[in-house]
Amino acid sequence: MCAVQATRADVTPWSGSTSQIATYCDAPLPQHPDMLAHTLRRSLPNAPRPHRALSTTAPRLNSVSSPFSFLPANSLHPKPGRSKGITEIRGPYYAPTSDGVKFAGGAFTLMPEDRLRALIDTCHKHGCYVSTGGFIERVLSSSGGNKQVISNYLTTCKNMGFDVLEISSGFLSIPTEDWASLVEFTAAHGLKPKPEVGIQWGAGGDASIEELESAGTRDPKWLIDRANTFLQAGATYMIMIESEGITENVKNWRTDVISAITSALPRDKIMFEAADPDVFAYHIQNQGARANLFIDHSQIVQLACLRRGIWGTGSTFARVVTTTTSAGGDDGVNKQQRVDATRMK
């Protein structure tokens, strides 16, 4: 898909004149279209073009199954078990082509059990962990915090094959100690708790900028303190950073909040919501190719190419690099070994 996109970009219609082309080719051009095309094919390859130096020490597309392993590309830690450079995509009905798939909005509760199991099994066979998304908010609000109902929900999620349980509270007011207890309770049920924290009250409902502004935001220190509390309570897999109030539904991005978070929390323990090309490009530019990001499925090719440094926009093309050559490729890893390690981590 990347090659197709690159080809289309390369054949953007020429908006100048034939005299300009002639100047570039340093040769007179015939007016007949067939002769013009023939002349251009002969002349343009000799024109000076910027290039990216190749070296024997450069990171390469080193997948054992890739016929292009001789080409340079950024190195990423291999699956399974990597803690940096993780990509998660929104589910449930999208192809599992990344590290993780998240069900949005409790969509899994609408699916027949056999279909849900089959989809989760498919994700696991492709080396993807499966997350519930933040449906726990609905469980908490509808049950009044009843511990037995919560336990039944966690047990059912575990039995269905879910690996990660996101613990969101964008619409709920939960004491920090109760939130930490829920992290411990989730881990006790054999699931990986993934608390979601943010600065915006009412996040998660795609409210308007005006609504969110009227609700107000929290100090970044509040977010960082809660994240550290949850890490200590057992959320050792990942903390999700809610984008609303930071880069989503705001008039101006709060890059100061991003800087505060990345400075205070372990990079391999935080994942930013970044379901917008400009946003994930910003994170890659400022955190590097191995930033942990949650995106939409439609953006997976763009982000994957950006991470590997093989494609990008005008501001990122050939500018995203890594120096580690031992991170390895992903495609050659045995699929079943990958998912087993991912689920046992």
pLDDT value at residue 49: 47
Q: In the block, which residue shows the tokens 């502004």?
A: 213
Residues of the chain below pLDDT 70: 1-73, 91-97, 202-207, 324-345
112 touches 327 (CB < 8 A): no
The three-state secondary structure class of 139 is helix
Q: What is the pTM of this model?
A: 0.69
Task: Tell me the one-letter amino acid at 172.
Answer: L
Q: What percentage of the chain's residues is helix, strand, coil (to nearest 5)? A: 45, 10, 45
> What number of CA atoms fall less than 13 Å from residue 101's CA on the CB side?
28
Question: What tokens does 12 get?
Answer: 């953007």
pLDDT value at residue 55: 38
335 touches 126 (CB < 8 A): yes
**Measured between alpha carbons, how far is 179 from 174 in angstroms, rounded to an integer?**
6
pLDDT value at residue 324: 67
pLDDT value at residue 75: 79
> What number of CA atoms fall less than 13 Å from residue 282's CA on the CB side?
17
pLDDT value at residue 217: 82
**Measured between alpha carbons, how far is 318 from 289 in angstroms, rounded to an integer?**
12
**Measured between alpha carbons, how far is 21 from 218 in angstroms, rounded to an integer?**
57
What lies within 8 Å, CB to CB, of 225 at 6+ separation is none
pLDDT tens digit sequence for 129-175: 999 998 899 889 888 889 999 999 999 999 999 999 999 877 788 89
**Measured between alpha carbons, how far is 236 from 323 in angstroms, rounded to an integer?**
27
pLDDT value at residue 18: 43
